[in-house]
């Protein structure tokens, strides 16, 4: 199962109902429940990513124009790390944890039994095609499920590579890749999975949720939105500028947790803009051709948002339609109703909104939908504590960006329109496990005799004291 020479049954030659039926059959045998099977699959998944690093980097370059270092950092290392961590810890995570019961429940024992849901559907996004398809699969496999993976059709080389590699490394009767677009996703959802994880935009997320509802399929929705960066008056502007620029340039700004826009205190706004300009120039190292966008549709969307801006273009602003590239661009004080401030940007354009103070910054974020990520740059503890307490968000990172995604120690997910549910590390295992309550009782002596009818006053008195 782990060598390239084994010819796998290709899931793409099979129709969707047959694929799901085959996986259901495997799950019913109980094979995927054993901790040993889970460990083997997770180790094989890690091996698949590590052994095929060059092919993965090549696919990411074809789909997204991604540099090999960025391919390694964002898709390869993070996903391999997730799989390694899960393989190491799954035995511990799956262990029964006895709960201390109330006196009235004694004698008896109670615990949570982590039960796999069954067959899980993972629908991935294109911007980190490996991390966002195989990453959720790590949690689903650790939990002992069979899994159907539906990579995004917008990154076709990555999708095709996953379809080729997965059957060569993983249990082909328990893990399948189905390639295709939104219609294929809908056909899959219509099969009535036991659990579903979708990563993508909020509007498509709504459609996925609606389709899943008719089967009562529980969902994890990893959605998008506009993630703000508050730069407070006391922030370390040098470092903030570099980190914001780095995060906005990575993958051409096409990251769900990229800094969507900055809210800058008026006292440091100009210094911040100058230093972001300096950081962009240093990071691009003389290359003014711009950042490659995934496709023409997204390129056109970004260019028209930029053309519509009423703000001041302080950095970049140029684009090249023949290469679908956009220069790293900073727009100062756009109109708050224009597309750049209304829709998720998902590109290398950074609006900067000026505010008078921290109160205004917090009010600004809170007047908008709850973001997937909220960022803050400050050196002051009281500022940090205020923002942590007063700004709701899927996750928060102080004095840096993006790294909340790359730890297995914290849950990653959105809130409200940025999503529901979370994964990574143990949280992924829990997300794809049903927490079955188990209570066991003894039969002799039969202490329940006091609650059996006919009810006497004496029994009632005793019961009132006990329960």
How far apart are alpha carbons 81 and 86 in whole angstroms? 9
Q: Is 247 in the site for ligand NAD (CB under 6 A)?
A: no
- Map the footprint of ligand NAD across residues 57-86, applying CB under 6 A: none
Q: Is 296 a catalytic residue?
A: no
User: How far apart, in whole angstroms, are the C-alpha atoms of residue 147 and residue 135?
Assistant: 12
Distance CA 249, CA 445 (A): 70
Q: Determine the Cα–Cα distance for residues 6 and 72; give it in Å rounded to an integer.
A: 27
Cβ distance 198 to 152 under 8 Å?
no
Q: What burial letters (b/e) apply to 291-325, b meaning 16+ CB within 10 Å? A: bbbbeeebbebbbebbeebebebbbbbebeeeebb
Out of 75, 171, 222, 431, name the contact with ligand NAD by CB under 6 A.
Answer: 222
Residue 123 binds to ligand NAD (criterion: CB under 6 A): yes
Residue 222 a catalytic site member: yes
DSSP 120-178: EEEE--SSSTTHHHHHHHHHHHHTT-EEEEE--TTSHHHHHHHHHHHHHHS-TTTEEE-
Applying CB under 6 A, does 256 fall inside the site for ligand NAD? Answer: yes
CA-CA-CA-CA dihedral for 122, 126, 127, 130, to nearest 10:
50
Among the options 70, 222, 344, 430, which is catalytic? 222
Chosen residue from 419, 421, 425, 428 binding ligand NAD by CB under 6 A: 419
CB of 198 to ligand NAD, least distance (A): 7
Does 260 help bind ligand NAD (rule: CB under 6 A)? Answer: no
- DSSP three-state, residue 407: coil
Residues 353-412 that bind ligand NAD (CB under 6 A): 372
- Binding piece for ligand NAD, criterion CB under 6 A, among 7-15, 103-111, 178-186, 446-454: 178-186
In contact, 265 and 254? CB cutoff 8 Å: no
126 near ligand NAD (CB under 6 A): yes
Residue with Cβ nearer ligand NAD (63 or 222): 222
* 350 binds ligand NAD, rule: CB under 6 A: no
- Token digits of residue 307: 């053309």
Give the interface segment with ligand NAD, choosing from 97-105, 161-169, 182-190, 285-293 (CB under 6 A). Answer: 182-190
Nearer to ligand NAD, 165 or 204 (CB): 204
For ligand NAD, the closer of residues 23 and 422 by Cβ is 422
Q: Which single residue brings its beta carbon nearest to ligand NAD?
A: 224
Please give the angle made by the CA atoms of 299, 303 and 306, to the nearest 5 degrees. Answer: 145
The span from the CA of 9 to the CA of 28, in Å, is: 20
Task: Give the x-and-dash track for 15-54 against ligand NAD (CB under 6 A).
Answer: ----------------------------------------
57's tokens: 């980097």
**Is residue 251 near ligand NAD by the rule CB under 6 A?**
no
Check 256, 344, 430, 431 and give the catalytic one: 256
Task: List the one residue from 19, 78, 158, 185 that touches ligand NAD (CB under 6 A).
Answer: 185
> In the bound complex, what is the minimum distance in angstroms from residue 298's beta carbon to ligand NAD?
8
CB 276 within 8 A of CB 313: no
C-beta separation of 195 from 432 below 8 A: yes
CB-based contact 241:289 (threshold 8 Å) = no
Binding map of ligand NAD across residues 144-173, x = CB under 6 A, - = no contact:
------x-xxx-------------------
Calculate the dihedral angle through the C-alpha atoms of 4, 9, 15, 16, rounding to the nearest 10 degrees.
Answer: -60
Per rule CB under 6 A, is residue 201 in the interface with ligand NAD? yes
Catalytic sites, residue numbers: 222, 256
List residues binding ligand NAD (CB under 6 A): 123-127, 132, 150, 152-154, 181-182, 185-186, 199-201, 204, 207-208, 222-224, 256, 344, 346, 372, 414, 419
């Amino acid at each position: 199962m782990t060598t390239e020479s084994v010819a796998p049954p290709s899931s793409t030659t099979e129709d969707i109902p047959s694929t799901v039926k085959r996986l259901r059959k495997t799950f019913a045998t109980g094979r995927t429940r054993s901790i040993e099977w889970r460990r083997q699959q997770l180790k094989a998944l890690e091996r698949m990513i590590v052994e095929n690093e060059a092919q993965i980097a090549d696919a990411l370059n074809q789909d997204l124009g991604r540099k090999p270092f960025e391919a390694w950092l964002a898709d390869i290392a993070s996903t391999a790390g997730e799989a390694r961590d899960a393989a190491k810890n799954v035995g511990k995570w799956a262990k029964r944890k006895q709960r201390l019961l109330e006196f009235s429940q004694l004698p008896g024992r109670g615990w949570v039994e982590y039960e796999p849901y069954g067959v899980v559907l993972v629908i991935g996004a294109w911007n980190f095609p490996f991390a966002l398809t195989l990453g959720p699969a790590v949690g689903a496999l650790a939990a002992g499920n069979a899994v159907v993976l539906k990579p995004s059709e917008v990154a076709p080389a990555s999708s095709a590579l996953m379809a080729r590699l997965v059957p060569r490394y993983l249990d082909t009767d328990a893990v399948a890749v189905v390639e295709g677009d939104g219609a294929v996703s809908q056909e899959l959802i219509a099969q009535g999975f036991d659990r579903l994880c979708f990563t993508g935009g909020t509007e498509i997320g709504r459609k996925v949720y609606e389709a899943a509802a008719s089967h009562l399929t529980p969902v994890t929705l990893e959605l998008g939105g506009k993630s703000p960066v508050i730069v407070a008056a006391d922030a370390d502007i040098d470092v903030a500028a570099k980190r914001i620029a780095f995060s906005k340039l990575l993958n051409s700004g096409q990251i769900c947790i990229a800094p969507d826009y900055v809210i800058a205190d008026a006292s440091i706004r100009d210094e911040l803009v100058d230093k972001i300009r300096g950081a962009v120039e240093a990071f691009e190292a003389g290359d003014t051709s711009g950042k490659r966008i995934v496709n023409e549709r997204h390129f056109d969307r970004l260019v028209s948002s930029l053309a519509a801006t009423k703000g001041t273009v302080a950095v970049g602003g140029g684009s090249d339609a023949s290469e679908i590239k956009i220069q790293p661009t900073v727009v100062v004080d756009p109109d708050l109703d224009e597309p750049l401030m209304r829709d998720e940007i998902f590109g290398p354009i950074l609006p900067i909104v000026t505010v008078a103070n921290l109160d205004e910054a917090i009010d600004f974020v809170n007047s908008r939908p709850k973001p997937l990520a909220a960022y803050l740059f400050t050196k002051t503890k009281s500022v940090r504590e205020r923002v942590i307490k007063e700004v709701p968000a899927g996750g928060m990172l102080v004095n840096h960006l993006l790294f909340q995604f790359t730890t297995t120690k914290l849950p990653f997910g959105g809130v409200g329109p940025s999503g529901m549910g979370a994964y990574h590390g143990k949280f992924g295992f829990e997300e794809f496990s049903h927490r079955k309550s188990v209570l066991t009782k003894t039969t002799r002596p039969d202490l329940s005799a006091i609650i059996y009818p006919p009810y006497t006053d004496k029994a009632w008195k005793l019961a009132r004291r006990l329960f």
